[in-house]
Every structure is written in C-alpha cells, then in structure tokens.
Amino acid sequence: MQEYSSSASSTLPQLPKAPTGIEGLDEITEGGLPKGRPTLVCGSAGCGKTLMGIEFLVRGITEFDEPGVLMAFEETAEELTANVASLGFDLKDLQARRMLRVDHVHVDRSEIEETGEYDLEGLFIRLGYAIDSIGAKRVVLDTIESLFSGFPNESVLRSEIRRLFRWLKDKGVTTIITAERGDGTLTRQGLEEYVSDCVILLDNRVIDQITTRRLRVVKYRGSTHGTNEYPYLITGEGISVLPVTSLRLEHQVSNDVVSSGVPALDEMFGRRGFFVGSSVLVTGTAGTAKTTLAASFAQQICQEGKRCLFFAFEESPQQLMRNMASVSIGLENHVAEGRLRIEASRPTLNGLEQHLVTLHRLVKEFRPDAVVIDPITNLITVGNLSEVRSMLTRLIDFLKVSGITAYFTALVNGGMGRAEMTEEGVSSLVDTWISVRDLEGVGERNRGLSILKSRGMAHSNQVREFIVTDGGIELLDVVLGPTGIVTGASRLTQQLEEHAQALAAQQEAERRDRELARRRRMLEANIANLRTEFESVEEELRQISTHEQTRQEALQTGKQRIVAANPPAVKTPPTGQPGN
C-alpha cells in the first residue's frame, strides 16, 4: 500500500497541498489542505474551529508568505484580535503589513427586510475585493452558517453558498469554512454537501471528567490521509495535533552505548550499558528504588556532559534532590549547570495530551540526550488504559525518532504472577526492560534486580540483589545457598556460615602447622640430645685415647730416661752381658 502510493507519486503529479503550519495537522493530511480548494472544518461549540482558521491564516502568512483573508460572521475584528493575542498572533500588525484582511460580516435578522429576489453578490464583492487587494492565497470563512439566521430564504442561500464555494475554487484560494456541528449531520445546514474536497471534524468529549479534543479527517478527496481520531490541544502556541502513532518504524539507530549509572548493572549487559536512543523501562513494586535507579542514570548522563530531562510525577525537584543526595547522587550541581532539568508536576494537572505536548515542547526546547519519566504509571490517573498506552506509544516513538535515550519507571502491582506485566502494556515497546522486585522471605524484604529483556545485546540472566547504600546503589555478588540465590539476612547468614567455615578451616590449618612445628622442635630437641650424648661419649673416648697416648708417651720417656742412666755396653764393656 505504502509502496504503491510512493511509486505512484514519483510518476504522477500529486494533488498540490497548502501546508497549514499547524503542528501535527500537516502530518495527518500528508502535507496540508488541498491547495486552491475549500476545506470544511466542523465541530461543536468550543472546539477551536475559529482558532484553527485563524492559525491557518497566521501561519500561512508568517511561515509560507501567503496573505490571507478572514471573513468573520460571528465576531468582530477587535474581538478576534483580542482573542488570539494570547497565542502570540498579532492580527493588527499583520493587517498593517497588508498580509491579512479581517472583514466582519454583521448579520442581523431584525435589520434585514426581505422584499423580493436577491443574491449574495455583496458578499462575493467584499471577498473578491479583500482577496485582490492583498493578493490573498488563503481565505477563512468563520461560520458562514450564520447567514441562515439572517436570511430566511434558504433556497437562495443554498444556491448562493454553492456558488460561493465554486467561485472560491475558481479563484484558486485555499479556503477553510467553519461550521457548527449539527444533530446527526456534520453541519447544521448540511454544508458538507457543497464542500466535497476535504472535511475535518473536530470533537470535544468529556470522559471521566477529563476533556479531550479530537480531530478526524472525514474525507480528503484525491489524497491519502490519517483516518484515526487524533487528540489535539489548544496550547499557548496554537493548535497542536498529535498523531497517535508515527506510521513507520524507520528511525535511525545508534550503535553507541550509554551507561546506566550503576557500574555493576552495566556489567550485566553484554555491551555494558544501553544503546543510545533506546528506551529503557524499569518496573517494580513500591519502594524498590526505581527512582534511585533513574536518578543514577540521570546523574551519569550529566556527568558525561550530556543533558537530561527528568519528569518527576511524584516528587518536587527539591524533594527529589534532597532524597537523592542521601544516597550520594548529587543532582544540584547538574541542575545549576543546566545539564539537568527536572520538571515536576502532578499528573492530574493536565490531560494526557497536555502532558505529551509539554514533553514535546520541553524536548524541543531543551534538546536533551536522555529523558527520564518517573513514573509513567501515574499517568493512568488521568486517562484510561488505552489512552495511556497510545500516548506512551507516541512518546516512545517521538523520543526514538529524536534519538533520545528514554528511561521510564513504572510501578507494578505486587500481585503474584502479574509482577512482570506493566498495565500500560508498554513493555513490548521498550528495548530494555529491567525488573526490580521485592524478594520476601525469612521476615524481611530485599530488592532483587534482573534484566527481562535487552534488545540487541546479551545480558545476564541472574537475579542480583541490590542495596541502596549511602554511597549509591550497589549490586551485590551473587550468593548461592543450598536453595538457590540467597538474599538479605539469609545471604548474611550464608556469608557468616561460610566465613565461620573458612575460619575453622584456617584454624585447623594453623593448628596443623603448629603441630608440625612442635614435632619438628621435639625432633630437633631429640636430635640435639642425641648429639650431646654422642659428643660426651666422643669426648670421653677421646679423653681415654688421650690418656692412653699420654701414658704411652710417659712410658716411652721413662724408658728413654732409663736408657740414658745406664749407657749401653758399646762404650763401656758390658757387664754381665755377653758382649759378643
């Protein structure tokens, strides 16, 4: 379908369109209103029909340099000027610059007496003169149906209005005709019969005490268009239409990675962080430190010198900063230096669309690298489920297209089995989903963190216990007990037990060492004893041999002395000895 129309557009000239400049409307109509043709804008009271007309003219002048004529049947030029001044539209100035002409057509039944046949040529002349005098390309007829109250001759009116539209078409001016919505018909007087090129229906509905304005392109001859009902808002800058979904998924992706602000959490991801421009959802039951995780992320972004926009739907900026300071997440500096912007408001302050518009506006204004919304669940208080979902879809789309990393927190009910289901059903839209939950057991609650999904990168499958300390968030190493991963007191017990065991083992080892040393000492003592004994024996033996030697020597000496005393017979004749 899409391919067909795009290939057709390349060969055939497309219906020329006049961009309205109204935020979002040109997207829905795929380029604007049919150029040179009338468009009917109908809706009940208070829908902003007149405003849409005026904005069409003003934007045409300021953005597309197309002069315009406003023919007002209900309000005078002064009233209109005053009414739209709050939107920053200076009709007086535009009139002075001859870019705009406002013609108030006063229709009063009591002043007009019908006396026979007539036509509305006066109107044609006025309009023609106004158009020609400034070279207008755009015309707004603000509630032409008022004529029906002034001129009772309906058949004349009808044929004249038909002629007027034909005439406008021939003049080639892009026209908006506003009309009040009728009972069961688009307009009270059935003007839709005459305007067949483009019909836009505005609607103002109150559901559950919340008003939502919606816009629908009923028909658009010769062009494709968004067919849904699109919520729109009247903001400080005019009308803003929000396409529910961008029709295509073709945003640019980044291969860069941004840290989560918690080093241990980064390690759980294959690429050590989230992809830039992806969307991250942190779900958890109450009190599972979702905000703290979000604040860590915001701090991380700011520390890298990037900008972060933080939407707090629960806490005021001061409260948030104070609370985060208690866990060593310092946000004040970043706020002071303009890297962090905290927007705090109660969700009930505005309708959903208003929130979305605020977001759009701030994102465009602040140009952040990351957006944190804490928590998205609170929005449910101002809309029903499907509305919140569609709004979040739009939001995520918008942020993705802008390449902004989105970080959402969501509160989930602690009910069994549902803990991993966000009510808003946005989990399928996000790229990374981190679940924090209470792990309850043995009389206490502990926080467990796990990654449920992370598109495009490997991630840890472990449930990690994390604690919020004075120094920030810490993820603890996994402690495995006999029944799996243990946390909290069980973990402490387990750790203590392990510690005790280790201690015992160490003591045992030390004891063995001491025993060995003692034995060695004993052995050494024995050896020393034996050696001493040996030495004494040796000594004794040595002494004995010495004595023997001494004795021998003494004997020898004695003998020699005897010999000396009795000289041998050689010198003297031997006596008694045969000297032979």
Residue 534 binds another protein, judged by CB under 8 A:
no
User: Does the protein bind another protein through residue 122 (CB under 8 A)?
Assistant: yes
Q: First-to-last CA distance in the chain?
A: 160
Q: Which is nearer to another protein, 170 or 208 (CB)?
A: 170
> Considering the rule CB under 8 A, would residue 513 count as an interface residue with another protein?
no
- Nearest approach in angstroms of CB 123 to another protein is 5
Give the residue, chosen from 63, 78, 79, 121, that forms a contact with another protein under the rule CB under 8 A. Answer: 121
* 111 touching another protein, by CB under 8 A: yes
Q: Tell me which stretch binds another protein (CB under 8 A): 128-136, 226-234, 247-255, 291-299.
A: 128-136
| Helix (H), strand (E), coil (C) string for 31-64 | CCEECCCEEEEEECCCCCHHHHHHHHHHHHHHHH
By CB under 8 A, is residue 120 in contact with another protein?
yes
Of the pair 157, 280, the CB lying nearest another protein is at: 157
If binding is defined by CB under 8 A, does position 519 make contact with another protein?
no
Which residue from 87, 107, 210, 264 is in contact with another protein, where contact means CB under 8 A?
107
Question: What is each CA distance from 563 to 370, 569, 572, in whole angstroms?
Answer: 126, 11, 14
- 10 Å CB burial of residue 407 (0-12, 13-18, 19+) is buried
The residue from 35, 126, 361, 459 that contacts another protein (CB under 8 A) is 126
Subset of 359-378 contacting another protein (CB under 8 A) = none
By CB under 8 A, residue 118 contacts another protein: yes
* CA max distance for the chain: 211
**Comparing C-alpha atoms, which of 138, 169, 176 is closest to residue 40?**
176
Residues 13-42, one symbol each (x = binds another protein by CB under 8 A, - = not), give: ------------------------------
The residue (of 156 and 478) whose beta carbon lies closer to another protein is: 156
Q: Would you give the binding string for another protein spanning residues 130-159, x where CB under 8 A is met?
A: x----------------x--xx--------
Q: What is the distance between the alpha carbons of residues 101 and 80, in angstroms, rounded to a whole number?
A: 12
Q: How far is the CB of 171 from another protein (least distance, A)?
A: 14
Determine, following the binding rule CB under 8 A, whether residue 113 of this chain makes contact with another protein. Answer: yes
If one asks whether residue 103 binds another protein (CB under 8 A), the answer comes out as yes
Q: Determine, following the binding rule CB under 8 A, whether residue 125 of this chain makes contact with another protein.
A: yes
- Could you give the 3-state DSSP secondary structure of residue 360? helix
Q: Is 98 in the site for another protein (CB under 8 A)?
A: no
Report, in Å, the least distance between residue 84 CB and another protein: 21
Among 516, 520, 533, 445, residue whose Cα is nearest residue 487:
445
Q: Which of 79, 114, 193, 539 binds another protein (CB under 8 A)?
A: 114
| CA 376/CA 380 separation, integer angstroms | 8
Binding mask 468-497 for another protein (x = CB under 8 A): ------------------------------
Sheet containing 238-241, strands listed edge to edge, beginning at the edge strand earlier in sequence = 100-104, 68-72, 138-142, 174-180, 38-43, 198-207, 210-220, 229-235, 238-241
Q: Answer whether 228's CB lies under 8 Å from 242's CB.
A: no
Under 8 Å CB-to-CB from 171, ≥6 apart: which residues? 128, 131
Toward another protein, which CB reaches closer, 161 or 294? 161
Taken in order 435, 440, 441, 446, the sign of the CA dihedral is: positive
H or E stretch including 574? none
Burial of 62 per CB tally in 10 Å (0-12, 13-18, 19+): middle
Coil, strand or helix at 457: coil
72 forms part of the interface with another protein (CB under 8 A): no
Whole-angstrom distance, CA of residue 60 vs CA of residue 86: 19
Question: Among 87, 128, 158, 203, which residue interacts with another protein (rule: CB under 8 A)?
Answer: 128
506-535: burial string, b at 16+ Cβ within 10 Å, e else: eeeeeeeeeeeeeeeeeeeeeeeeeeeeee
Q: Residue 171 interacts with another protein (CB under 8 A)?
A: no
Contact stretch for another protein (CB under 8 A) within 105-113, 179-187, 377-385, 468-476: 105-113
> From the list 57, 105, 141, 293, which residue makes contact with another protein (rule: CB under 8 A)?
105
Whole-angstrom distance, CA of residue 210 vs CA of residue 349: 11
Among 37-45, 116-124, 208-216, 241-249, which window interacts with another protein (CB under 8 A)? Answer: 116-124
111 or 477: whose CB is closer to another protein?
111
- Name which of 144, 146, 235 is nearest 192 in CA terms: 144
Count residues binding another protein (CB under 8 A): 25
Alpha helix stretches (DSSP H) within 210-330? 263-268, 290-303, 317-325
Residue 45 CB, nearest approach to another protein (Å): 24
Nearer to another protein, 113 or 250 (CB): 113
Give residues 187-246 in contact with another protein (rule: CB under 8 A). none
Stretch that binds another protein, among 109-117, 401-409, 466-474, 531-539 (CB under 8 A): 109-117
| In the complex, minimum distance from the CB of residue 119 to another protein, in angstroms, rounded to a whole number | 6
Judged by CB under 8 A, which of 28, 33, 52, 123 binds another protein?
Answer: 123
| Cα–Cα separations (whole angstroms), residue 547 to 532, 535, 552, 573 | 22, 18, 8, 39
Binding site for another protein (CB under 8 A): 103, 105-107, 111-123, 125-126, 128-130, 147, 150-151
